């Protein structure tokens, strides 16, 4: 019987996916329950001290989807357990490094850290130079911007710190290397044989990227771009999945950070423009329209050079961020209604949406990869006569 790798590996892939689905669903339920208990206790203590102070849903959500200099494992206050990440700053006096533990989890600018004769504070997840004197208990100054919102006016050093997102990028890259090196070694050892073990799980995904993404959009030139397409697909998918894991080393919102999606989109833009042939550039600078429309169409075509990767950047960022915000918003229904009676429904729907996010994690990696392949294919597509 002829060997068909996808059919042989299909049952292993589906079994692994269902196992991940059940595991992440159970962990999400536990994390939502723990978050509910912690926030309820916090609100109760705040209410006793400040009778009218209410739960700030915006601050809660942006705190959870934002970057941080620490990984939180469990506990609060004196019982807080987690991983402090290194602070790396380039200041007026050169390079400064220290542990984020020095801030003692303070994020409102009231804790000053002195290193090499320089004073730093942390506010809203960012590092600033500290003022000489505290204003209203904080060493950072605020002023209103044009939209009437408070902004911090303190000067900032260049920040090269290893944050949660940076750590997760390094971790996902290491994971990618382990995956592809182990699969490549398995192919060398089992050349001409059916895949086995971890190789049987990864092979159908690789074939999916090759046969359903690369070949239809790139034609016979697909092999040239397969390394990039496989890398970007697995990088996005792994980071999407890690973002759904509420414990270390997961929990970072890498693909929900617009800086990350910007870099990925720029890589695609570079590939498009460096590999674009004369027909691609001719369509931009000499579009096939009547001469009187060319002055209008040329600027439009030039804008498309930026608009395509811009669409890739916004689509991935917005969809991943929206998913996290939706889960957290459902969780916050408990505090909005200020009733434990809402808790079962809130937790159920949060877990349900969290489980759907497993599928969204794959879909968003697929969409980014197939659109990248489509845009590259449009740039390298040959004229029919020239191809002949």
**First-residue to last-residue Cα distance in the chain:** 37
Banded pLDDT at 134 (limits 50, 70, 90): confident
Average of pLDDT values for 71-99? Answer: 88
Note if the pTM is more than 0.85.
no
What per-residue confidence (pLDDT) applies to 370? 95
What per-residue confidence (pLDDT) applies to 55? 66
Residue 355 has pLDDT above 90, yes or no: no
What per-residue confidence (pLDDT) applies to 356? 85
Banded pLDDT at 165 (limits 50, 70, 90): very high
- Which has more pLDDT, 329 or 259? 259
**Helical packing angle, 343-380 and 5-49, nearest 10°:** 130
What per-residue confidence (pLDDT) applies to 44? 42
Using CA atoms, how far apart are residues 311 and 282, in angstroms rounded to an integer? Answer: 23
Using CA atoms, how far apart are residues 222 and 211, in angstroms rounded to an integer? Answer: 10
Average of pLDDT values for 335-351? Answer: 78
- Which has more pLDDT, 37 or 97? 97
Average of pLDDT values for 291-305? Answer: 86
Instruction: Give the pair of three-digit tokens for residue 303.
Output: 């804008």
Range from 59-68, 124-133, 218-227, 251-260 carrying the lowest mean pLDDT = 59-68
Mean pLDDT rounded to a whole number for the chain: 81
Using CA atoms, how far apart are residues 240 and 7, in angstroms rounded to an integer? Answer: 26
What per-residue confidence (pLDDT) applies to 210? 93
User: Is the separation of the CB atoms in 370 and 378 below 8 Å?
Assistant: no
Banded pLDDT at 328 (limits 50, 70, 90): confident
Angle at the Cα of 264 from the Cα atoms of 61 and 27, rounded to 5 degrees = 40
Banded pLDDT at 270 (limits 50, 70, 90): very high
Element (H, E) at 14: helix 5-49
What per-residue confidence (pLDDT) applies to 368? 95
Domain ranges of the chain: 5-20+165-387, 86-161
What per-residue confidence (pLDDT) applies to 196? 76
Strands (E), the chain: 70-74, 81-84, 86-91, 94-99, 113-115, 118-123, 126-129, 142-144, 150-152, 158-159
Average of pLDDT values for 140-151? Answer: 76
- Which has more pLDDT, 64 or 104? 104
DSSP string for 68-92: -SEEEEE--GGG-EEEEPEEEEEET
pLDDT tens by residue, 23-64: 544 444 444 444 444 444 444 434 444 444 566 777 777 777
Banded pLDDT at 16 (limits 50, 70, 90): low
**For the range 241-244, what are the long-range contacts, defined as Cβ-Cβ under 8 Å and sequence gap of 24 or more?**
241/20, 241/358, 241/361, 242/168, 242/171, 242/172, 243/320, 243/324, 243/361, 244/24, 244/28, 244/354, 244/357, 244/358, 244/361
CA 65 remoteness from chain centre: 10
Q: What percent of the chain has pLDDT over 70?
A: 83
Using CA atoms, how far apart are residues 31 and 22, in angstroms rounded to an integer? Answer: 14
Return all residues near 231 (Cβ < 8 A) that are at least 6 apart. 176
């Amino acid at each position: 019987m002829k060997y068909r790798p996808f059919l042989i590996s299909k049952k292993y892939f589906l079994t692994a996916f269902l196992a991940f689905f059940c595991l992440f669903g159970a962990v999400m339920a536990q994390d939502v329950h723990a978050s509910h208990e912690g926030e309820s206790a916090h609100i109760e203590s705040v209410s006793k001290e400040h009778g009218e102070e209410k739960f700030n849903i915006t601050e809660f959500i942006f705190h959870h989807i934002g970057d941080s200099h620490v990984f939180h494992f469990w506990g609060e206050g004196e019982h807080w357990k987690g991983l402090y990440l290194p602070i790396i700053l380039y200041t007026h006096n050169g390079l400064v490094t220290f542990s984020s533990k020095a801030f003692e989890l303070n994020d409102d600018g009231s804790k000053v850290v002195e290193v090499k004769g320089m004073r730093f504070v942390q506010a809203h997840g960012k590092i600033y130079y500290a003022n000489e004197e505290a204003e209203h208990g904080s060493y950072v100054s605020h002023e209103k911007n044009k939209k009437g919102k408070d902004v911090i006016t303190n000067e900032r050093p260049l920040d090269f710190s290893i944050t949660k997102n940076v750590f997760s990028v390094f971790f996902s890259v290491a994971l990618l290397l382990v995956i592809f090196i182990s699969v490549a070694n398995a192919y060398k050892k089992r050349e001409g044989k059916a895949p086995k073990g971890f190789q049987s799980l990864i092979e159908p995904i690789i074939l999916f990227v090759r046969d359903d993404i690369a070949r239809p959009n790139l034609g016979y030139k697909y092999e040239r771009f397969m390394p990039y397409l496989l890398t970007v697909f697995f990088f996005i998918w792994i980071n999407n999945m890690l973002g759904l894991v509420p414990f270390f080393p997961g929990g970072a919102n890498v693909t929900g950070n617009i800086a990350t999606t910007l870099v990925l989109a720029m890589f695609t833009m570079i590939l498009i423009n460096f590999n674009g042939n004369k027909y691609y550039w001719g369509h931009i600078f000499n579009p096939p329209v009547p001469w009187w429309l060319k002055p209008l169409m040329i600027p439009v075509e030039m804008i498309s050079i930026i608009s395509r990767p811009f669409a890739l950047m916004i689509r991935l960022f917005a969809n991943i961020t929206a998913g996290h915000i939706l889960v957290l918003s459902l969780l916050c229904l408990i505090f909005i209604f200020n009733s434990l009676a809402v808790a079962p429904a809130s937790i159920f729907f949060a877990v349900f949406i969290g489980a759907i996010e497993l599928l969204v994690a794959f879909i968003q990696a697929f969409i980014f990869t197939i659109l990248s392949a489509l845009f590259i294919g449009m740039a390298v597509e040959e004229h029919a006569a020239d191809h002949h």
